[in-house]
Structure 1
């Protein structure tokens, strides 16, 4: 975004992909204008954005930027006016794309990036009538999956990649233009083979889905194809794998160059099995289930700083927790993910303690005991905690914490965190005692320098604040002492 305020992005075509683009940009602080002649476009995009608001912030332990403004426009020209990025997501018909890009090129600013969500067409095909588009091909749901395949003019792709990284996406520049780019060519191979397996009665749609999600799909999520096969080669690595399994490529295992006829019989067979497999749930229910699972997988990969989780971590590093509440520093500001809730439908007690731990991390960063400090061999270890549960917290609630330093004398750091729901109600308090530790010697020691100075300053400032609830024993009631 520019220093003068939110930058504007235009979305042309508001289906599932266009709506996903709108959500990704909007929730990362961009103003978004949409043009789609479909009279149901506003409702459809609104439902996609509602799903995104529920899931995307749950990936992060910091707040996303203030949401941008969403505008639905009556004309394409109104939508693209002053936009720094125009994303076309109309149906995959080349004549329609030519018509749309001619209008975009005529109306958009000269410096605007014009991207196409096309899954198959090459830039040379999109631009053969004078347009200036690049391919910016995302994956559904766009607001959660980070990959965007970029194809086209090198300078424009580099500029596009910078913006995409700023909204938490992973731009992959395709080195040569080719039909269907990279990922869809791989998916097409699996799709073709799956159609034959169903048609020939070898497997049902559910069998195939189980084979993927119970097996190689889990490996691919964090290692991809070649790294997975490298491990399959054992200590001898990729050369051994290829020598052992290479001959199988000449065996008649697949029908990749042959496609079953798409007649009514095959369509009915596939559709009927799919209805039996998933028809009990609505599309919205399936989308929410998908999003919750993706958030869980992405957060797990974020912990290991691996694959797509590394993209989330890099984006989160640019997000900021700041501000004050009631004179105390805000050290946690995040959305409660579905994985933090239990069978009662509210936030599980375990995660109140995790929230307190994250607030402690936030306070440590304020006094200079940050990642660099820990890397130098010094940190704080928690030795005791006490949580009071005061109000229910539910999935999707905003959870904010303030931190009060009760004591920073000697080796000790005694903190009192207050956890607030988005409606302002106090949900819990977390009191915690930590000891400053030399990580190399594995012994406690007294902090020095900037950390000691900031502790003394915070203790002086916070000494005048009340700390109702601190110092209690478990089960204590008013007047029991």
Structure 2
């Protein structure tokens, strides 16, 4: 086992058995493989291999843009000939069969009989109650619902719902595993048909069917009503927080007082119309027209490209990212820690910053653009300031360090997808000044790609004047300076820009 849950306990399956290789099962396989797990998939369909390999290819392309270079070496995808082969040696099982309760119960009973009691079994069911699905299992305590969303390899949400006999330990272990592969876990507090997200989607779907049946709108018009309006907000702010903003400074209470009475008006028809042949033909025809001749694969690639860009954009919102962007940043930080571990280099200095060069940092020459080096070194400086007690609380108290001089040297190339890290040394300090030297390298390599030498001065921000460094901060600086003093002066320290002249 590898990876850790919130309590620091190891749980990170390395061999995942998958039962059912449709869109969801193949999506799970891709997410597992890209996170370094072996995925052994069983599906009797003759198309199972081609589908799984196609989805894995799309997932690779998507992750190359989403988080380039941050994933571990890939696991292996294996298509099993039998259920027994898929489960042999598995330390985690994800079932993704069609939504037929009798079929699921029959196969889950076979899975339960073949596995050691400690191996968790998760079902991708989108709405069947786990208490019913676990009813015939010898070890019902290890069964839980892990309901994802399509495409599984990109959308981070997974709903976890336990049945009456599911143990809390199982829910915690499975949640830890999902988080370790980049997912956002939503615990369903109480068993309910359809869980949470699909019940919301179902309400929208029912109303959409009624509007089409009544001739109010077409499939394309309904989708436009979502993607040009609420859908843009939903990627980062759900309905309730959006409505809170609509209430102004008085918030949700004012919104409910102002707009609550409208809920009594007969606006919606949340009873799905009968799916007659005529309605099915109308919906299918409109959908064909809406697709404009694009194949399903082309639409999937378009969807993935859009999702990657939306999630990456959300990763840049605020100090830690927002919504799915924050989930991505946490995942990226864990991956960087796993890959590098903040491990010291040959000089014994741990990383003050690490990350991966994303595509948008690349300039017209094909390597990291100049201002991104300054950004990375600035973030490394912030890490050092946090470490010496001069972080946000220090700034809030009216004191800060201002950078008054920076000297950058570009010695190599940081390329797209490269895992990079910064190590920082305290070269000198006095009562008001702090002298830092940063080295940027590829992860696991001590050869510098760039260096930055910085002089910072301590400032009383209210008076906008230099000020003595507080004793506690000065003591932390002195400790770092002492730790770094035994090291040789880094090559390039104290350098100035000059063109040598021949006499």
Tell whether the 8 Å contact from 1:83 to 1:109 is kept in structure 2 after alignment. no
Cα deviations by residue, 1:412-452 (Å, 9 ceiling, x for unpaired)? 22324334499999654444333345678764434422332
Instruction: Check if 1:76 corresponds to 2:93.
Output: no
Tell whether the 8 Å contact from 2:345 to 2:444 is kept in structure 1 after alignment. no
Paired with 1:372 and 1:235, the residues of 2 have a C-alpha distance of: 28
Instruction: Check if 1:47 corresponds to 2:57.
Output: yes
- Worse-superposed segment, 202-211 or 418-427: 418-427
The residue aligned with 1:323 is 343
Paired with 1:315 and 1:217, the residues of 2 have a C-alpha distance of: 25
Cα deviations by residue, 1:203-237 (Å, 9 ceiling, x for unpaired)? 55554444333332333333322222222223443
* Runs of 5+ unmatched residues, structure 1: none
Instruction: Check if 1:285 corresponds to 2:301.
Output: yes
Paired with 1:371 and 1:72, the residues of 2 have a C-alpha distance of: 49
Tell whether the 8 Å contact from 1:368 to 1:451 is kept in structure 2 after alignment. no
Paired with 1:427 and 1:191, the residues of 2 have a C-alpha distance of: 53
User: Cα distance 1:179–1:477, how it changes in 2: closer, same or farther (>3 A)?
Assistant: farther
User: Cα distance 1:5–1:292, how it changes in 2: closer, same or farther (>3 A)?
Assistant: closer
- Pick the aligned partner of 1:417 from 439, 452, 455: 439
- Pick the aligned partner of 1:124 from 128, 131, 142: 131
Paired with 2:216 and 2:241, the residues of 1 have a C-alpha distance of: 29
- Pick the aligned partner of 2:311 from 266, 272, 295: 295
The residue aligned with 1:466 is 491
The residue aligned with 1:265 is 282
**Alpha-carbon shift at residue 175 of structure 1 (Å):** 2.7
Paired with 1:406 and 1:235, the residues of 2 have a C-alpha distance of: 47
Instruction: Check if 1:407 corresponds to 2:421.
Output: no
Tell whether the 8 Å contact from 1:204 to 1:273 is kept in structure 2 after alignment. no
The residue aligned with 1:449 is 475
Paired with 1:236 and 1:333, the residues of 2 have a C-alpha distance of: 42
Tell whether the 8 Å contact from 2:62 to 2:304 is kept in structure 1 after alignment. no
Paired with 2:393 and 2:333, the residues of 1 have a C-alpha distance of: 14
Tell whether the 8 Å contact from 1:151 to 1:177 is kept in structure 2 after alignment. yes
Paired with 1:203 and 1:344, the residues of 2 have a C-alpha distance of: 49
- Pick the aligned partner of 1:7 from 13, 16, 25: 13
Tell whether the 8 Å contact from 1:16 to 1:48 is kept in structure 2 after alignment. no
Instruction: Check if 1:150 corresponds to 2:166.
Output: no
**Alpha-carbon shift at residue 137 of structure 1 (Å):** 0.6
User: Cα distance 1:324–1:70, how it changes in 2: closer, same or farther (>3 A)?
Assistant: same
| Aligned positions, number | 471
Tell whether the 8 Å contact from 2:441 to 2:450 is kept in structure 1 after alignment. yes
- Pick the aligned partner of 2:262 from 248, 252, 275: 248
**Alpha-carbon shift at residue 198 of structure 1 (Å):** 5.2
**Alpha-carbon shift at residue 109 of structure 1 (Å):** 1.9
- Pick the aligned partner of 1:351 from 372, 377, 392: 372
Tell whether the 8 Å contact from 2:147 to 2:159 is kept in structure 1 after alignment. yes
- Worse-superposed segment, 129-138 or 183-192: 129-138
Instruction: Check if 1:112 corresponds to 2:119.
Output: yes
SS of the aligned residue for 1:244 comes to helix
Paired with 1:11 and 1:375, the residues of 2 have a C-alpha distance of: 51
**Alpha-carbon shift at residue 116 of structure 1 (Å):** 0.8
The residue aligned with 2:197 is 183
Paired with 1:109 and 1:478, the residues of 2 have a C-alpha distance of: 73
SS of the aligned residue for 1:145 comes to coil
**Alpha-carbon shift at residue 113 of structure 1 (Å):** 1.6
Cα deviations by residue, 1:305-361 (Å, 9 ceiling, x for unpaired)? 654455455556656352345647444432222333457765443323222223334
RMSD: 4.0
- Pick the aligned partner of 1:221 from 235, 252, 257: 235
Paired with 1:310 and 1:82, the residues of 2 have a C-alpha distance of: 34
User: Cα distance 1:386–1:275, how it changes in 2: closer, same or farther (>3 A)?
Assistant: farther
User: Cα distance 1:139–1:339, how it changes in 2: closer, same or farther (>3 A)?
Assistant: farther
Instruction: Check if 1:233 corresponds to 2:247.
Output: yes
Paired with 1:203 and 1:433, the residues of 2 have a C-alpha distance of: 64
Tell whether the 8 Å contact from 2:29 to 2:56 is kept in structure 1 after alignment. no
Tell whether the 8 Å contact from 1:192 to 1:256 is kept in structure 2 after alignment. yes
The residue aligned with 2:6 is none
SS of the aligned residue for 1:118 comes to coil
- Worse-superposed segment, 358-367 or 247-256: 358-367
Tell whether the 8 Å contact from 2:66 to 2:309 is kept in structure 1 after alignment. no
